[in-house]
Structure 1
């Protein structure tokens, strides 16, 4: 007696290979519903394999360092260098050796929903997470590049385990820890990608809360970036303490 389409769908979830005898039986099943399920299974399997391969490629730096004897490898990234308002936020993340999160990459390439899901998984499984936040006033005092380094050093210092190696997204830090700067590291290293997600969700949450206090600036949607509406709001309502006065066009408005 043939299984129903629903039963076939439930059974396919448990199958990992086309070589499975049950899968081979389904190949011979001429029902359109069964063939549609097989097509979807193949597409899902291809996507799963692609994400696994991507994750393995993004683990090369970490695996090499583990083989060299390093135990606590921290990825570092920042979010918020370009906005006109709000802090620059950095995160340092130490992941366990068996960590696996297919699809993890640069937070800017992820949907807000996926970022939130990844954020929760990283928080739940990371060995340690440190977050550094440097405000607009400090950014104006030292410049955004130096403020980014300050935020990263804060993040390192807030780890409850001292890392023995740092993988940093396109930065070098004056700290007594071995490190490697990786250009576009958030798409080349799982540790940096994880820190990118933590920093992005943390800063976005901050800006959403700020938007509730000052709804006229549209922070919930622009996250402090210089959109046309944001600049018009600054011209209409003035400059907040959260605005970066050293950034154009704000410095032209306040001068």
Structure 2
């Protein structure tokens, strides 16, 4: 599926020429932030290689994300970290990060397109499903959100060795589940997410990263 400008043109016809695409990465992960990007592309209806980040290789995502930053009229990326996610819930935290990203755009957007994210906003909003595969601006936002979050998760690999964050990016892979059983829960895990909450409830010690387990697991 190739993105086009159909949703943007609907806003252009109504006089809103600065249309921001908004997309997130990491919403379903067990650890790390949910990352939201907002992008306004020049309203020139050019063809770009931008695609839904899930359809691309890591190398393609990096290359196209760099191109987004070069051609965008303005862009911003914001994160909601696990403490905010646990406090607001994942949807509330995603909305909060999106609001922060949109507030940083200069010039400010006149309309929004999101990937089915029903933001509370006074701006005209189009929120179709799979917008990251249908809209150039949302595809551009998906590239920035995905590459920035992947970079952060790779950095967390060094801070919390043994969890495999660089490989599974905090999602519920078998290797991640096994590491949690062995090493415990880190400050980067979302404690209100069911798999993490269950693990914490199983052990009165809290199974915290760096704390010795009842089997005498060495500290990290």
Whether contact under 8 Å (2:7, 2:126) holds in the other structure is no
Gaps of 5+ in 1: 1-50
RMSD between superposed Cα atoms in Å: 1.4
**Alpha-carbon distance in 1 for matches of 2:45, 2:147:** 20
Determine which of 141, 147, 154 is the counterpart of 1:208.
154
**Alpha-carbon distance in 1 for matches of 2:190, 2:88:** 12
Please give the secondary structure, in 1, of the residue aligned with 2:75: strand
Match of residue 23 from structure 1: none
Bigger proportion of residues as helix: 1
Whether contact under 8 Å (2:48, 2:136) holds in the other structure is no
Shift of 1:99: 6.0
Q: What is the CA deviation profile of residues 86-134 of structure 1, one whole-angstrom value per residue up to 9, with x for unaligned ones?
A: 0000011000023645432211111111101100000011000021210
Which of structures 1 and 2 has the bigger CA Rg? 1
Match of residue 182 from structure 2: 236
**Alpha-carbon distance in 1 for matches of 2:176, 2:53:** 23
User: Pairwise mapping of residues 1-16 of structure 1 onto structure 2 (< 5 A)?
Assistant: none
Please give the secondary structure, in 2, of the residue aligned with 1:249: helix
| Alignment TM-score, normalising by the size of structure 1 | 0.76
Query: Is the aligned partner of 1:119 residue 2:65?
Result: yes
Go from structure 1 to structure 2 and tell me whether the alpha carbon gap of 1:75 and 1:130 turns closer, same or farther (over 3 Å shift). Answer: same
Match of residue 208 from structure 2: none
Please give the secondary structure, in 1, of the residue aligned with 2:171: coil
**Alpha-carbon distance in 1 for matches of 2:164, 2:98:** 27
User: Pairwise mapping of residues 1-255 of structure 1 onto structure 2 (< 5 A)?
Assistant: 54-55=2-3, 58-98=4-44, 100-255=46-201
Q: What is the CA deviation profile of residues 18-66 of structure 1, one whole-angstrom value per residue up to 9, with x for unaligned ones?
A: xxxxxxxxxxxxxxxxxxxxxxxxxxxxxxxxx9xx34xx211112322
Whether contact under 8 Å (1:99, 1:125) holds in the other structure is no
Structure with bigger RCO (C-alpha 8 Å, 6+ apart): 2
Gaps of 5+ in 2: 202-220
**Alpha-carbon distance in 2 for matches of 1:117, 1:223:** 19
Go from structure 1 to structure 2 and tell me whether the alpha carbon gap of 1:124 and 1:102 turns closer, same or farther (over 3 Å shift). Answer: closer
| Alignment TM-score, normalising by the size of structure 2 | 0.87
